[in-house]
Amino acid sequence: NAGVTQTPKFQVLKTGQSMTLQCAQDMNHEYMSWYRQDPGMGLRLIHYSVGAGITDQGEVPNGYNVSRSTTEDFPLRLLSAAPSQTSVYFCASSYSGTGNNEQFFGPGTRLTVL
């Protein structure tokens, strides 16, 4: 199993550009989520999905869109990048969103918006 994979590893954008961060998992997990990590602030939940076709907002959803057309993939779209979106983005998946759900994290995408 590859686990949770994310691409790209690094990305530099100019303000106003759009892009999609890719996330895929091969563990047949129902629950997938996107976090951003900023220094001293831990991880903050952007969006999550409890299954294909179902998504919901987390703590900091503004400026981001998601879709979940398959169980495996959960892309995160930045519609119009802003410097405030400079961060490290982590995708995670787990078997279920509740209970003892060990979340498996991808290696992260480091995004810089100039």
Partner 1 sequence: GEDVEQSLFLSVREGDSSVINCTYTDSSSTYLYWYKQEPGAGLQLLTYIFSNMDMKQDQRLTVLLNKKDKHLSLRIADTQTGDSAIYFCASGNMLTFGGGTRLMVKP
Cα 110 from chain centre: 12
d(CA 97, CA 103): 9
Q: Considering the rule CB under 8 A, would residue 58 count as an interface residue with partner 1? A: yes
CB 72 within 8 A of CB 5: no
Minimum distance, C-beta of residue 14 to partner 1, in the bound complex (Å): 25
Reported residue count of the chain is: 114
Give the residue, chosen from 1, 2, 14, 102, that forms a contact with partner 1 under the rule CB under 8 A: 102
- Does residue 81 belong to the site contacting partner 1 (CB under 8 A)? no
Residues binding partner 1 (CB under 8 A): 4, 35, 40-45, 48, 58-59, 90, 92, 97-100, 102-103, 105-108
